[in-house]
Structure 1
């Protein structure tokens, strides 16, 4: 897959301490018979996520989680901002859903480019992302 080849050829400057180095985790999977590429990279100040079914990065969105304290408890508020690309509501809803599902704690820079933004497709992407994140903790 072209996007995966590009991501594999990227080099990350060593930070001096091997435990601080972050590597890309990527996977190619079929979701409803559509080839889907997912790449995730966790940095100290941001998380990068690419979800594409077109072998192109697509629109870039930045999602940040804030917490609001009230007498009833703590609520999470997700702010979604389109940096560039299409400003479709479906993309923003899917990106926010993914951010909430993977429980982001720092800003999420997400490139999303799906052929269908139906709930089954987005849930399948979420499951794959959670599997990739689970591998990081092993």
Structure 2
């Protein structure tokens, strides 16, 4: 069963008709010859992102963006919290990088399960997510 099918079964939201906006955007791609599945969904109160190279959802992290005001200006602070799964630093760094790259404005719920967390793999994921996101806003 593909990740998209799993996510459709988990949602309690109305499944849209052809005339309505699609709830999920997904793609399967090869990143460094490793099959990678990416699912992107925008909700009114959060964004959900699944990135997997194991056909399983992997660790779940929640990333929140806050702003800190100081006399020198405003800085963005990203808080990363592991909800379940591995608590490895690599997942947290990759998830935070993706949250910054897609410029989140609401909490990001990310499931991430990669065979390698090297910068080239994470950047390739970022490019695909940005493409999915732009397709999501076009619909």
TM-score, length basis structure 1: 0.90
Number of equivalenced pairs = 136
Distance change >3 Å, CA 22–CA 47, structure 1 → 2: farther
- Mapped to 2, the partners of 1:95 and 1:11 lie a distance apart of 23
Partner of 1:55: 55
- Shift in alpha-carbon separation, 1:49–1:77, aligned structure 2, 3 A: same
Further displaced range: 29-38 or 2-11: 2-11
CA RMSD for the aligned pairs?
Answer: 2.3
- In structure 1, list runs of 5 or more residues that go unmatched: none
CA deviation after TM superposition for structure 1 residue 21, in Å: 6.2
Q: Which residue of 2 aligns with 1:118?
A: 118
Question: Contact between 1:37 and 1:52, CA under 8 Å: does it hold in 2?
Answer: yes
Q: Which runs of 5+ in 2 are unaligned?
A: none
Aligned equivalents of 1:13 and 1:63: distance in 2?
22
Provide TM-score, normalisation by structure 2. Answer: 0.89
Q: Is the 8 A contact 1:101 1:126 kept in 2?
A: yes
Q: Flag the 1:40–1:65 CA change in 2: closer, same or farther, 3 A.
A: same
Superposed CA offset, 1:44-77 (max 9, x none): 1111100000000000000000001112111000
Counterpart of 1:38 in structure 2 is 38
Alpha-carbon deviations, 1:77-130, whole Å to 9, x = none?
A: 000000000000000000000000000000000000000000000000000000
